[in-house]
Chain A
Amino acid sequence: MPDTHEDDIALRVRAIESLLIEKGLVQPAALAAIVETYETKIGPHNGAQVVARAWTDPAFKARLLSDATAAIAEMGFSGVQGEDMVVVENTPAVHNMVVCTLCSCYPWPTLGLPPNWYKSAPYRARAVIDPRGVLNEFGVDLPPDKEVRVWDSNAELRYLVLPERPPGTEGMDAAALAALVTRDAMIGTGTVAAGQGAAQ
Chain B
Amino acid sequence: MPALPVEQVDGLIATGASARMPDTVPPRFRPGDRVTVRNINPLSHTRLPRYARGKAGTVEADRGVFCFNDTNAHGLGHKPQHVYGVRFAARDLWGEQAAVRDALYLDLFEDYLEPHGG
Contact = CB atoms under 8 A, between A and B. Distances in A.
Contacts of A16: none
B5 A152 contact: no
Q: Which of A33, A80, A154 has the most CB of B within 10 A?
A: A154
Contact of B3 (A25, A37, A82, A145): A25
A39 interface: no
A151 interface: yes
Interface residues of A, number: 38
A71 B47 CA distance: 27
Interface in A61-78: 78
A129 interface: yes
Contacts of B8: 30
Contacts of B48: 154
Interface string A151-173: 11111110000000000000000
A76 to B, nearest CB: 9
B16 A82 contact: yes
A95 B102 CA distance: 9
B49 A157 contact: no
Given A101-B49, A147-B103, A30 B3 contact: yes
Interface string B1-26: 10111101110111111111000000
B107 interface: yes
Interface of B is mostly: mixed
A1 interface: no
Contact size range, B: 35 or more
Question: What does DSSP make chain A's interface, helix, strand, loop or mixed?
Answer: loop
A125 B25 CA distance: 35
B17 to A, nearest CB: 7
B104 A79 contact: no
Contacts of B16: 78-83
Contacts of A157: 63, 83, 85, 107
A30 B5 contact: yes
A82 B20 CA distance: 12
Interface string A24-38: 111101100110010
Interface string B88-113: 00100110001101111111110000
Given A25-B1, A78-B15, 7 more contacts: A30-B4, A30-B6, A80-B12, A131-B102, A150-B105, A152-B105, A157-B85
7 contacts: A24-B3, A27-B4, A30-B9, A83-B20, A128-B51, A154-B49, A155-B107
Interface of A: 24-27, 29-30, 33-34, 37, 42, 78-84, 86, 101-102, 128-129, 131-132, 144-157
